[in-house]
Amino acid sequence: MTASAPTLDVVAIGNAIVDVLARSDDAFLAQHALTKGGMQLIDAAMAESLYADMPQAKEISGGSAANTLAGLAALGKKCGFIGQVNDDQLGDVFAHDVHALGIRFDTPAMQGDVPTARCLILVTPDAQRTMNTFLGASQFLPEAALDLDMIRSAGILYLEGYLWDPEQPRAAMRAAIDAARGAGRKVAFTLSDNFVIDRHRADFIDLIDQGLIDILFSNEGEIQSLGQVDDFDAALARFADKVPVLVSTRSEKGAVAVVDGVRYEAPAAPVSQIIDTTGAGDLFAAGFLAAHIEGRDVADCLRLGAAAAAEVISHWGARPEADLVVIRDQLFA
């Protein structure tokens, strides 16, 4: 049976997190026993306490997969997001920001005492970011909350590796893969983090070996971790014949894709000043997928990915600020 034409380009499942950014000084970090430049997971009590003490803050929706959708939406793609928030103030902030981008987001907010996830980010005068992440409601996305019709309607289902950790979202993502593949759609997966890979390597390799992943995103360290090898080329070779589109970013060394056994490379896009690398991989995936959806060749997919990543690291925050359509049109002029 031939799959019907998709009505959405990408539906993503990921952590629904609100980034709360505030400028602070070293004394504030010391007062709260925070390690400058680090990232730690915190519990609800610390999240509430630290949030109450923080200086005036800027709140903006975050989360890896949601950041990728923000880039895709900025490039004119039709997107939907599935993620769990609570029916609270930050849950409203997240939903407002996602809807403002023109992204469908209909996952019912949960009730109860588990607040919406937030990442409390303190920026010191030396531009260091100290991150304190409370995963909250995002870890409790149940399979019952999936909009299977929306998943089946999208050309690509995009899954965030970070969300493979908790049990409920992991089961939900497995069900989403079944729905997408049953409808003849593609499944894209981002490995997210070496720590996630260490805990779930067997699961990820099993998904790949079963042929359930059509597009795999990683960075150099992640693909080597997945393959448990120290050599980048050996890591690519380990998975190249099992994933139709294998993509790996290499920071200033650019990015590589192996598609149907053929290797493509692109340099990193020039950046006048690197301000904040948060979201670089997320926006690279957005640029690559947007070009892929437009039917461009692999080299152009890599180039647009690099350009989108360069835009987001040139300013604070993990969402694009410049007009990515203008950047794309200049790139392919």
Counting DSSP H helices and E strands in the chain, the numbers are 12, 14
- Does residue 23 sit within a domain? no
How far is CA 297 from its chain centroid?
23
Tokens of 71: 């880039």
- Does residue 82 sit within a domain? yes
| Under 8 Å between Cβ of 104 and 150 | yes
**Residue found under tokens 């005492």:** 113
Range of the domain at 256: 8-16+63-116+136-332
- Does residue 123 sit within a domain? no
DSSP designation for 29: H
Q: Model-level pTM?
A: 0.93
Q: Residue ranges of the chain with pLDDT lower than 70?
A: 1-2
- Does residue 25 sit within a domain? no
Q: What is the pLDDT of residue 2?
A: 56
* CATH code, domain carrying 270: 3.40.1190.20
| Under 8 Å between Cβ of 28 and 120 | no
Number of domain units in the chain:
1
- Does residue 79 sit within a domain? yes
| Under 8 Å between Cβ of 286 and 311 | no
- Does residue 29 sit within a domain? no
CA distance 218 to 205: 13
- Does residue 190 sit within a domain? yes
Q: What is the pLDDT of residue 124?
A: 83
Range 259-264, long-range pairs (CB < 8 A, 24+ positions): 259/298, 262/298, 263/236, 264/298, 264/299, 264/302
- Does residue 267 sit within a domain? yes
Q: What is the pLDDT of residue 277?
A: 78
Q: What is the pLDDT of residue 1?
A: 46
Q: What is the pLDDT of residue 216?
A: 98
Go through 57-78 and write b for each residue having 16 or more CB atoms within 10 A of its CB, e for each that does not.
bebbbbbbbbbbbbbbbbbebb
